[in-house]
Amino acid sequence: MSLGEGLRMAWRALAANRMRAGLTMLGIIIGVAAVIALITAGQAATSSVTSSVQALGSNLISVTPVRSAGVILYPEDARWLLEVVPQIRADAPLVEASVTASYETVSWSTTLIGTTPAALAIEGRKLAAGRFLDAQDLRLDRSVAVLGQTVAQNLFPGRNPLGQTVSVNGTEFTVVGVLQSVGGAFGANADNVIIVPISAAEWVAGTTELTGIEAEARSAAIAPLAVAQITAVLNHRFATTNAAAVISQDQILSTLSTVTATLTLMLGGIAGISLLVGGIGIMNIMLVTVSERTREIGLRKAMGASRRAILSQFLIESALLSLAGGAIGVVVGIALSLLLTHLLGAGGVSLSAVLLALGFSLLVGIVFGIWPAANASRLDPVQALYHS
Amino acid sequence: MTDVVRVEDLRRTFRTGAIEVQAVRGVSFAVTEGAMVAIMGPSGSGKTTLMNMLGCLDRPTGGHYFLGGEDVARKGDDALARIRNRRIGFIFQSYNLLPALNALENVELPLVYRGLAAGERHLLAAQALSEVGLGRLTSFRPYELSGGQQQRVAIARALAGTPDLLLADEPTGNLDSASGEEVLDLFLELHRGGRTLIIVTHDEQVALHCERIIRLRDGEVLLDQPVDARQRRTKGDLGSRAVAP
Ligand SMILES: Nc1ncnc2c1ncn2[C@@H]1O[C@H](COP(=O)(O)OP(=O)(O)OP(=O)(O)O)[C@@H](O)[C@H]1O
Ligand SMILES: [Mg+2]
């Protein structure tokens, strides 16, 4: 018996019981659609996180002092670091504080970042309007501020913030620039900032301690060396083995992508379980089908069908059932993925997820069809034929 | 003449738990090519059990069965499936047509398992259907046909593969006498065409159409006699004409 003949037979058997076939397929449809949609969501998260980290500047190294080890850095340490570590091209000290910014009657919780003009290039950010901090601002101790998109939109809805005065924890700043959004649903925090000259931030925060230093390696290739060098000089200076957490953007990226890959795998796995449940549904229905069609099996055997022919007949039937469910599931899954992509602003349908889901559904049909089909093929012709 | 069927001391014992039923206990006979033989006997005498073994649906627990000179009593499942497919045409009391298939497709069934291409199958099946006088009902489903017509489709199915041996287990058992006569006429025609036929029946009238009657009782051959030429019917006759007013 040829495969074409088997497919034709299976198609007729399924068509004869449409309602049942449809309900059985539903399990596979849901499973496959879920696998595709969730993998798409996971990959959207990955690409979104990756792109927002990459937007931070390609050779970024962040240095965070370990306070519990008694390590405290001050603004002049940034200048010192630039001198003693030849692998870095620029660096910027950071003083951060959680603050409430207000304009007229509107208040907004945000993060104040005090830094130097070098920070713009190091973080690889761009201006949407106005200018960034400059050397004059620092030298003359000007109270100027550059707003992140989120802050600008919330304090100045539909208005131009440039030239306006915002109050940050009671201290007034003149807005001189607005940053472009770094984009991505998961990168929202980088847009909720107010950047001011470091001395002004020290005043607002009431401390001259740095939250950290951001440095830029001379090249991506040299970044690991820069990380090692920064670590070494800080450890040496503070006579400890863990003066600071020194992390390059590469490391952040690889850590994050491990996390998101795990997330994607988990989501896919959860969806895979529903496919498995769909497979059990198929097995159940195939067992019912085989027992209902015992006489037919007996007759086919009497007409000369070999065990193999009966086995493949029912195996093809269950495989077709789950593959058809898989195909419908792919259509539903792609529709869901497009919707998710639209909502998250990232992602896109993953071809590998589609192929994986289809392949898995075929596998499920065969694996869960084997037992019922083997039962059918093992039936004794006489007993099957005279089965009532 | 060559023997199509020869059984020697054929036995079949069923075991269900502690209970043992000897359904066929040492049956021997031979059937020559072109013969038309009736097997008779009371209910439970082992007729169906014997037929299932002759049809290679079941294996004997003892003795020998030579089909066309070859001992098939100990063959494996696949070999038996192949023999059923190519060398035996089986006709059942309850027709056993598949309701989802039309007449032509039902007749094609054994040819499917022979691996024939669709075109060739259609041709052979259509031929077999016209041989049983149903050439024009090829696209009818079983439920659209009368019992007699259904049994003729089943006969066409048995014929389509040009088997060496036709086996019929109470082929007229479910039919009224008029339909039964049609079926008997068909068997007589096949017999005249040189086919080898073994027919199990409860009906003495049916048996009188055959050349020879083997009578079973309790799984053994009680009598094995040719039918008296004077009594022999050569035309389907189950008394339906006599009953008519
Ligand atoms: N699968 C089986 N398991 C146990 N006993 C069986 C089995 N098949 C048949 N028998 C027994 O074997 C004996 C012969 O049965 P068989 O069906 O061959 O008789 P039969 O002559 O065809 O009867 P009938 O005229 O009623 O069809 C009976 O006693 C029956 O109960
Ligand atoms: Mg019987």
CA-nearest residue of chain B to A12?
B100
Minimum distance, in Å, between the CA of residue B109 and any CA atom of chain A: 7
Q: Is the CB of B23 under 6 A from ligand 1?
A: yes
Q: Do A302 and B55 touch (CB under 8 A)?
A: yes
Contacts with A307 from chain B: Cβ below 8 Å = 77-78, 81
ipTM score for this prediction:
0.94
pLDDT of residue A380: 95
Report pTM: 0.76
pLDDT of residue A249: 80
State how far the Cα of A374 lies from the Cα of A388, in Å rounded to an integer: 21
pLDDT of residue B1: 60
Q: Helical H runs in A55-101?
A: 75-84
φ/ψ (deg, to 5) at A320:
-65, -40
Ranges in chain A, pLDDT < 70: 1, 55-58, 183-188, 347
Q: Do B112 and A1 touch (CB under 8 A)?
A: yes
Q: Could you tell me the distance, in angstroms and rounded to a whole number, from the CA of residue B46 to the centre of ligand 1?
A: 6
Coil vs helix vs strand at A219: coil
State how far the Cα of A276 lies from the Cα of A269, in Å rounded to an integer: 10
pLDDT of residue A168: 94
pLDDT of residue A187: 41
Q: Which ligand is closest in space to the CA of residue A386?
A: 1
- Specify the residue with its C-alpha closest to ligand 1, atom 19: B44
Q: Which of A361, A65, A92, A32 is nearest to A237 (CA)?
A: A65
Asked if B91 contacts B154 with a C-beta cutoff of 8 angstroms, the reply is: yes
Q: Does the CB of B59 have a partner CB in chain A at under 8 Å?
A: no
CB atoms within 10 A of CB B8: 15
Query: Which CATH architecture group holds B3-213+221-226?
Result: 3-Layer(aba) Sandwich (3.40)
A44-77: pLDDT as tens digits: 878 877 777 776 666 889 899 998 888 899 999 9
By Cβ distance, the residue of A300, A307, A382 closest to B77 is A307
Q: Which of A182, A196, A236 is nearest to A50 (CA)?
A: A182
Domain boundaries, chain B: 3-213+221-226
Domain boundaries, chain A: 3-52+261-385, 88-213
Q: Does the CB of A300 have a partner CB in chain B at under 8 Å?
A: yes
A125-143: pLDDT as tens digits: 889 999 999 999 999 989 9
Q: Does the CB of B55 have a partner CB in chain A at under 8 Å?
A: yes
Minimum distance, in Å, between the CA of residue B98 and any CA atom of chain A: 7
Minimum distance, in Å, between the CA of residue B161 and any CA atom of chain A: 10
State how far the Cα of A289 lies from the Cα of A278, in Å rounded to an integer: 16
Query: Cα dist. A304→A25, A102, A370, B83 in Å?
Result: 32, 88, 21, 7
Question: What angle in degrees, to the nearest 10, is found between the helix axes of A351-378 and A249-292?
Answer: 30
Query: Token digits for A326?
Result: 């898989």
Q: Which of A359, A368, A338 is nearest to A32 (CA)?
A: A359
Q: Which ligand is closest in space to the CA of residue B43?
A: 1
State how far the Cα of A149 lies from the Cα of A178, in Å rounded to an integer: 7
Task: Please identify which residue in the block is written with the tokens 């994050």.
Answer: A256
Q: Is the CB of B48 under 6 A from ligand 1?
A: yes
Strand partners, B19: B16
Contacts with B156 from chain A: Cβ below 8 Å = none
What is the DSSP secondary structure assignment for residue A264, as one 8-state letter? H
Ranges in chain B, pLDDT < 70: 1, 241-245
CA-nearest residue of chain A to B116?
A1
Q: Do B81 and A305 touch (CB under 8 A)?
A: yes
By Cβ distance, the residue of B52, B96, B113 closest to A304 is B113
Q: Does the CB of A303 have a partner CB in chain B at under 8 Å?
A: yes
